[in-house]
Structure 1
Amino acid sequence: MTSFLSVKDLHVEFPTDDGLVSAVNGMDLSLERGETVGLVGESGSGKSVTTQAIMGLFKDSKARVSGTIDFEGTDLISLSENRMREYRGKKIGMIFQDPLSAMHPFYTVGEQIAEAYRVHNQVSKKAAKEVAVDMLGRVGIPAARSRADSYPHEFSGGMRQRAMIAMALVCEPELLIADEPTTALDVTVQAQILDLISGLQQETNSAVIFVTHDLGVVAELCQRVVVMYGGQCVEQAPVRTIFREPGHPYTRGLMASMPALSDETGRLKPIPGSPPALLDLPKGCLFAERCEVAKLLPEGLCREERPLLRIHGDHEVRCHAHERGLLAVGGPSAAGNMKGESADV
């Protein structure tokens, strides 16, 4: 059975004066209709570039994109920019991390939402304005009719994010990509935004890719987790599996670096070292230089031979140590690091 969205062997490379930057390096991802998948990893791991490739944002750039992005039987990579515009906004919507920079400062919020609607629907400006007002009301903007005439800078951070969500959802896309939509918000507004996305998803039965650094958000919102490192998927599994039996040393490092409510010292445990240079990726495992488990394996294995993404039931892991059973069970528990209900993840 074909997935609703299937990304296979995706590569995104950017030519620069210093060489070719391999931002995404053989990424695999699948998504079913109505499912929410969390895409996690450190900055520079390729999360945003992957989602931008799905949106077709590199069509008119010098970026080199290869592989397949199958969306309901259509390979999005092979589409022209004109054909991709028919999908972007209508079938695939995106909530950007910073709505203030994503929205035009010279047009009112209502005008921008109405324009997004008119691109894909043959309606008058007046009818589109009514749709925009209705959408602003649905995302919780008070006095939506009057606030539709406000400019982005006149909205608070939380209101701008709601307006950005309204713009992304106004055409009721089948796939919604949320790229760090709550990063700059306080925890109260963050919780409101997460509830809003979840509620609107249930109304439309859309699929959601949620890009985030916050594993607590992933545990609360997502059914499945995809962990990225060096532009690759290094692990993916259902949320319960990831938090109880992480199979990759990098995933364990991410969990260990989370603030723990039970840790009286209040100290974080960062992953030592830095992500690989995308201009010159190592020959072997991309995480080998930072991995303590690599020392337990035959000398040179992790640095000379790049591991494949192996399937173990509903759990996929890219790790030589996991293949040999060294990381098959156990690992740091997420229970102490999550919110009060996390032990039931």
Structure 2
Amino acid sequence: MTTPEAAPLLDIRDLRVSFPTDDGVVHAVNGMDLTLARGETVGIVGESGSGKTVTSQALMGLLKDTSATVTGQILLDGKDLNPLTEPQMRAYRGKKIAMIFQDPLSAMHPFYPVGAQIAEAYRVHNNVSKKAAATVAVDMLGRVGIPDPKRRYSAYPHEFSGGMRQRAMIAMALVCEPELLIADEPTTALDVTVQAQILDLLGELQAETGSSVILVTHDLGVVAEVCHQVVVMYGGVCVEQATVADLFSDPRHPYTQGLLASMPSLAGRSERLSPIPGFPPSLLALPEGCLFADRCPKTHLVPDDACGTRRPALTGPVGHPSRCHLQTLETAGEVVR
């Protein structure tokens, strides 16, 4: 029996998200499973449209009261968040689970000072006065590296630089010390130097608070630097999951191999990068077989046109499964990689 200490903080089971549109139903997430241990950092990677951000929004309950259909279980500390109503979810959002959005300028209210917005986020979950909340907000601005936090408390979002806005967004997300932090492309719009500072800051604050982190990104270099586990998404499903070391040294899914081959290297290699040909599948009409089959260079290795007619399961070694028919054949001893 699993002990309470060993129980995961987050356990996602068969998460599915779809949206009705004029053209049909968009199947954005198609059976996502993910387990996150306490204090762990998991990176979710994949091309645009693979389902990374929609998964994050579903975890935060941001799709409630919308036209989206969300099924499956989102177990946070054993509590399923999916059936909760929007008012019920507000008790968790910010206190137990928080999010750093990709664009802090659009995530913050332009008419209110940055410090006041952080203080308000703190007061929602803590019965304190405005003065006490303001003190906490100033302290938090200082902790995330905002210079002269007392003066900056009264500044508006447009008066902050891009890096400072991202730091303020981190302060707002962490002010209540949530157990789970979701960071959705937190460094995309930042230059390399500021990006490194933000990643270091996240690591330091995670060590202080003990939070678990889900890092949504397209940057495998960032994942290699800060994550413990990696989930590779394609077509709304996980196609490979492994530790950072295993994924980079032994990528098993052809899509993961393609992503790594398209990365520039600091080793000074002279060969050209190898982009993945083609386009991701339409989420309006998913193919019957493997979602990656039309772009995969290895379908000829699988007999009976299985790639085009049958959806592969997530199988393979414990701790490093992949969703590929080649993996299934290897597990059965029918093919040698």
TM-score by length of 2: 0.95
Q: Which stretches of structure 1, 4 residues or more, deviate above 4 A after TM superposition?
A: 263-266, 326-329
Question: Is 2:259 aligned against 1:251?
Answer: no
Whole-angstrom distance in 2 between the partners of 1:313 and 1:125: 50
Question: Using the alignment, how far apart are the partners of 1:56 and 1:119 within structure 2?
Answer: 17
User: Which residue pairs with 2:116 in the alignment?
Assistant: 111
Moved more, 251-260 or 315-324: 315-324
Aligned equivalent of 1:334: none
**Counterparts of 2:70 and 2:137 in 1: how far apart (Å)?**
35
How much has 1:298 moved relative to structure 2? 1.2
Cα offset, 1:83, TM superposition: 1.1
1:77 aligns with 2:82: yes
Q: How does 1:267-282 map to 2 (within 5 A)?
A: 267-282=272-287
User: In 2, distance between residues paired with 1:188 and 1:269?
Assistant: 27
- 2:138 is the alignment partner of 1:137: no
State the alpha-carbon separation in 2 of the partners of residues 99 and 25 from structure 1.
29
For 1:86 and 1:7, the matched residues in 2 are separated by 20
Q: What pairs with 1:174-253 in structure 2 (closer than 5 Å)?
A: 174-253=179-258
Equivalence for 1:67: 72
Residue 334 (structure 2) pairs with residue 323 (structure 1): no
CA RMSD of aligned residues (A): 1.3
Alpha-carbon separation, structure 2, partners of 1:263 and 1:328: 32
- How big is each residue's C-alpha offset from its partner over 1:205-238, in whole Å with a ceiling of 9 and x where there is no partner? 1100001111111111000000000000000011
Q: CA deviation at 1:261?
A: 2.6
Q: 1:126 and 1:267 mapped to 2: Cα distance?
A: 58
What residue in structure 2 maps to residue 297 of structure 1? 302
Matching residue within 129, 154, 165 for 1:124: 129
Alignment partner for residue 163 of structure 1, among 168, 172, 190?
168
Give the unaligned 5+ runs of structure 1: 330-345
Q: Which of these residues, 68, 78, 96, is aligned with residue 91 of structure 1?
A: 96
Supply the distance in 2 between the matched residues of 1:75 and 1:311 (Cα, whole angstroms).
28
How many Å apart are 1:81 and its aligned residue? 1.1
Asked whether the 8 Å contact 1:288–1:294 carries over to 2, the reply is yes
- Which of the residues 24, 30, 38 maps onto 2:29? 24
Per-residue CA deviations over 1:122-143 (Å, capped at 9, x if unaligned) read 1111111111000000000000
Deviations 1:151-178 (A, max 9, x none): 0000000000000000000000000000
Tell me the SS of whatever aligns to 1:316. Answer: coil
Contact 1:108 1:148 in 2 (8 A): yes
Amino acid paired to 1:102: A
TM-score (norm 1): 0.93
Cα distance in 2 for partners of 1:253, 1:322 equals 16
Residues 128 and 22 of structure 1: CA distance in aligned 2, closer, same or farther (over 3 Å): same
Aligned residues: 329
One-letter amino acid matched to 1:137: G
Give 1:311 deviation, angstroms.
4.0
Structure 2: runs of 5 or more not aligned = none
Instruction: State the alpha-carbon separation in 1 of the partners of residues 216 and 302 from structure 2.
Output: 33
**C-alpha deviation, 1:80, in angstroms:** 1.3
* Aligned counterparts of 1:118 and 1:78: Cα–Cα separation in 2: 26
Deviations 1:280-332 (A, max 9, x none): 00011100000011121114211110011114121111110122239976xxx
Kept in 2: contact 1:55–1:88 (CA 8 A): yes
1:152 aligns with 157
Tell me the percent identity: 68
SS at match of 2:215: strand
Cα distance, 1:253 vs. partner?
Answer: 0.4
Listed one character per residue, the Cα deviations across residues 8-43 of structure 1 (whole Å, up to 9, x for unaligned) are 111000001111000001111110110000000000
Counterpart of 2:52 (choices 44, 47, 50) is 47
Write the letter of the residue equivalent to 2:257. Answer: R
